[in-house]
Amino acid sequence: MKWTLILSGLNTGEYNMNFDIELTSKCNPDLAYFRLYRWQPFCISLGANQKIEDIDSIKTDNDGIDIVKRPTGGRAILHAEELTYSAIIPLHNKLTPKEIYEKISRSLIRGLTTYNQIFSNLELENLQPNFPELLKQPTGVLCFGSTAKNEVKFNGKKIIGSAQRKLDKVILQHGSILCGTYHQKLIEYINSDKSNKELFAKELFEKTTEIETVTGTPINYYSLINSIIEGFKKEWQVEFESVIKGNSF
């Protein structure tokens, strides 16, 4: 199978989600994609089945924050200080969707460990939450309020959030590698009362962490990108036959 690496840099939320969907239409049994990108302006993405009414769109407009729907499931994320990945992989007999999910997570662990050895004790979540029940809770609107099976944690806190969807015979998986703390400002844009917002803020603070928080140093995005690429190549034992570059990071 031939792999293409796409480094598309900073783009709008609509562009990023449309790009991932477009790649699924180009994917075939002999072609797969791995893409790294960021968001400009910052953007709140909602899961495919989430209501836009969960978000205060007047405040997002005033603050220059985009809102977009993801083709995958999950809940609200504020994409800001992060590196986002997507993998578009044809389904075949070798790997199931669950195995693909786990393998991608392990490649990201390799990448973060390459970036900084402090991440050598990253781990995968081994339990799957009851998402229908979680969605009934006040914090159910928050994607980073819980950790799904095989998502990546550091000292018990979620540092990478991922979502997957099967589209015909193709797997689309994308996710956020948290770099800075700006994602916690999502609370400011949730339509809810003050007491719930305080609960949301507590959940995000207690259940998530970020690369800059762990390392105590500013992100070097180019070093991080190269490390994630190397981790992916080693875990999947592949070389990228072509590289497509877009905007700068």
By CB neighbour count within 10 A (0-12 exposed, 13-18 middle, 19+ buried), where does 175 fall? Answer: buried
Active site residue 143: yes
- Token pair for residue 26? 């180009």
Query: Which of 1, 3, 2 has its CA nearest to residue 229?
Result: 3
**DSSP letters along 28-63, please?**
BTTEEEEEEEEESS-EEEE-TT--GGGB-HHHHHHH
Query: Which of 97, 103, 142 has its CA nearest to residue 124?
Result: 103
| Residues sharing a CB contact under 8 Å with residue 137, sequence separation 6 or more, in sequence order | none
CA distance 48 to 71: 5
CA distance 143 to 45: 10
∠ CA 229-169-129 to the nearest 5 degrees?
70
CA distance 75 to 115: 28
HSE of 42 in the Cβ direction (CA atoms, 13 Å)? 19
CA distance 2 to 4: 7
The residues annotated as belonging to the active site are 143
